[in-house]
Amino acid sequence: MVVTLVTGGAGFIGSHVAEALLHQGHRVVVLDDLSGGSVDNVPPGAVLEVDTILDEGKIDALFRRYHFDYVFHLAAYAAEGLSHFIKRFNYQNNLIGSINLINASVNYDVKCFVFTSSIAVYGAASRPMLESMPAHPEDSYGIAKLAVEMELQVTHNIFGLNYIIFRPHNVFGERQNIGDKYRNVIGIFMNKIMRGEPMTIFGDGTQTRAFSYINDVAPVIARAIELPTAYNEVFNIGADTPYTVNELALRTAEAMGAEPEILYLPARNEVQHAYSSHEKIRRILGEPDSTPLQDGLLRMATWAKTVGPRTSRPFDTIEIPKNLPPSWRQRA
């Protein structure tokens, strides 16, 4: 049986990828430190190893025990805006932890290393963002993701480790951590509504993003290893149609059956417009499912109402408090 490691498999995207791999007949081992994920997210049939990717000795022992055929690396702390203020944490978790996994994959002859990067690597590039464009990340998170991409390319050239890199964007859906106030705007909006609080928007809300439903993304990532033409390639993945954050707030309130109430906060440092082309992934991996935004929001809203509102906790280890948005300092 094919044995596959999914890091971050108790989290949002990772748990859905793990579930898809199980359906494909893999024996799935989930590695997660549960800092942002939950045991409840781990799909039945997967083996859960609760540990960190930061301990290279433990990583080596894990690879020695299971002899993985494939590695799907989804463990990350994906908060572009906050990454400016937690640089050390960002690079330790999003870069150094990834290097530990790459080293072990080379040493134990993994067939392919699948990495979820981000369109944060593009920075403020012209739209739609193309895989062929030069990468110019504008935050520490995007820099870390780009460094891992570059390391995978170099490692392939020297050691022959195959890789597939996906650059997803604004993925939402069931099992998202709606209690994290620093990332995942749709989850933040739904949590605010359930707590009877206004949805908060930085700036004037004219920022644009394309919001991608999880069931259109995770199965594509999982089955990519079955297509040799996908090996050693980089793919944008996600929805095509951009929406303003203002429009997203109205649509989210509608999906939740609530009257929209919005509180505008001072603008923060962020890329204003970010959405990508998916011509390459269609050409190589085929036409993915495309769930309309409102349908995806309704499905997530149904799930969110069953789990209920969550308490948002401030990040405990802010390294640079200077210029931190005031709303990120508050306990709520």
Helix (H, G, I), strand (E, B) or coil at 5: strand
Of 48-57, 167-176, 227-236, 311-320, the one with minimum mean pLDDT is 311-320
123-161 residue pLDDT tens:
887 789 999 999 999 999 999 999 999 999 999 999 999
**DSSP β-ladder status, 243-244 and 208-209:** antiparallel
Mean pLDDT of 292-312: 96
**Res. 329: pLDDT tops 80:** no
46-67 residue pLDDT tens:
999 999 999 999 999 999 999 9
Closest residue by Cα to residue 16 from 287, 215, 179? 215
DSSP 113-179: EEEE--GGGG-S--SSB-TTSPP---SHHHHHHHHHHHHHHHHHHHH---EEEEEE-SEE-TT--TT
CA distance 293 to 172: 10
**Res. 37: pLDDT tops 80:** yes
Mean pLDDT of 3-19: 98
Mean pLDDT of 95-119: 98
Q: What is the pLDDT of residue 332?
A: 45
pTM of the model: 0.95
**Res. 243: pLDDT tops 90:** yes
Q: What is the pLDDT of residue 330?
A: 61
Confidence of residue 331 (pLDDT cuts 50, 70, 90): low
Mean pLDDT of 307-319: 86
Q: What is the pLDDT of residue 146?
A: 98
Q: What domains does the chain contain, in order, with CATH numbers?
A: 3-171+212-237 (3.40.50.720), 173-210+240-273+292-328 (3.90.25.10)
Mean pLDDT of 163-192: 95
